[in-house]
Structure 1
């Protein structure tokens, strides 16, 4: 019985979501597939030379899968950036300039640099490509630009359709899963950016995308209180925001890759 209880306790600990969690597998695949839909022919060819037949959608979850290997524990902080409340756009930009800690913001350029470097080995490029796809997805998940004190919403407990959850998990998994779509069905439904969106997002810097997620994050904090009972109304209020962030993540990733291999 003691052995059983130990196994159960470990299982429960492993189940608890931490701030390094990210879009669900479907969410990351949505971002990867949207990016693939918007690649230039040069980028598509260059990525195939690195990943072979592995699509961006399939590569997108490697950054979470590898958490099973202790050798990659150093990647923990790469999936998010802790940001204080109350920053305006310039304040956030100033904060990012000064913050050199390992984060999704500081590591995206590192992955780009590895991919640009002609001296990088094949294995280094595979690692960098997989992580780049994953991290750009993370960057556009609003609760990955959240507050350190509550672990990105992990310590803000809520219920989701009557089941115990937390704010981070709702945005990582439960909103997406509630739509009941495969990732390809989801992409078909939302991959319709307007001409204006494409122009605006093309001109966005990495800081701009962080700020966009941060703005959404602030709204989530303002409207979702601890112990809130979330369900149909929350989905109705936020599904368009969710879809915008997924779409934006895919276009952001495509822009980075197209610029890298132009």
Structure 2
């Protein structure tokens, strides 16, 4: 049994850079797509050569594990250990999700990128705004964002990071990404304006506050079951909606 747990923990540590699972990134990107201005939608269609934001929503997770894009591996998260804030926590030299999102937005707004680099930056931004809203991507460096915290998911060995990436969203609703958008993206104009306010750094810090509560609710060895899913489904829905609307805001500003 000890050897099995060691395998689970080591396997989990390889997933530190991953944010929401495929479904979560697809949902976030589709909510954004549904809230684009006509001008932004047309420009994004041009930049992505006819593909939608959803098509590339998960591209960076794979790309970050190739030599060409290995420099982006730390861009998916920003670790905040207990007792620290984003501002006081030692930073990743290669950058984190906050610096990456800010830099990509600035590059895209500059209108100075080649067509190839513009498409690359846009694909990265679509993914990283989603990561910014995945709570465990502000987790502790000491436990690899929850990767080394063993839990069970309906009795099966897992880790805290992996259940928040994929298991919980999939257990919350067995919907396609279009069904997710149809069911949860129902904000009034005033609610959307409120959610879209602020900066990427402020959005991330909001996620980090949620992460603190998740740590408190999920000590090592927790058996995640129906009660846990019921408790956190609304939070997951809110993070998808926030991520989608905030991504749309950034894209609408870039391609206004």
TM-score, normalised with respect to structure 2: 0.90
Moved more, 73-82 or 110-119: 110-119
Q: Provide structure 1 residue ranges, at least 5 long, that are not aligned to the other structure.
A: 1-9
- How far 1:62 sits from its partner (Å)? 0.6
1:251 aligns to 2:245 (yes or no): yes
Instruction: State the superposition RMSD in angstroms.
Output: 2.3
Distance 2:27 2:47 in 1: 21
The one of 159, 167, 174 equivalent to 1:174 is: 167
Q: Provide structure 2 residue ranges, at least 5 long, that are not aligned to the other structure.
A: 1-6
Contact 2:64 2:70 in 1 (8 A): yes
The one of 213, 220, 225 equivalent to 1:226 is: 220
Distance 2:207 2:10 in 1: 28
The one of 160, 182, 187 equivalent to 1:193 is: 187
Report the secondary structure of 1:197's partner residue: helix
Q: Deviations over 1:105-162 (max 9, x none)?
A: 1011221122123331111011100000000000000100111000000011100011
Distance 1:191 1:65 in 2: 28
What is the aligned residue count?
249
Q: Deviations over 1:74-110 (max 9, x none)?
A: 21101000113245xxx54x438x8473100101122
Contact 1:145 1:214 in 2 (8 A): yes
* Cross-structure match for 2:198: 204
Cα distance 1:100–1:21, how it changes in 2: closer, same or farther (>3 A)? closer
* Cross-structure match for 2:3: none
1:124 aligns to 2:117 (yes or no): yes
1:34 aligns to 2:27 (yes or no): no
Write the mapping of 1:40-59 to structure 2, written as runs, cut at 5 A.
40-59=37-56
1:111 aligns to 2:104 (yes or no): yes
- How far 1:28 sits from its partner (Å)? 0.3
Write the mapping of 1:69-80 to structure 2, written as runs, cut at 5 A.
69-80=66-77
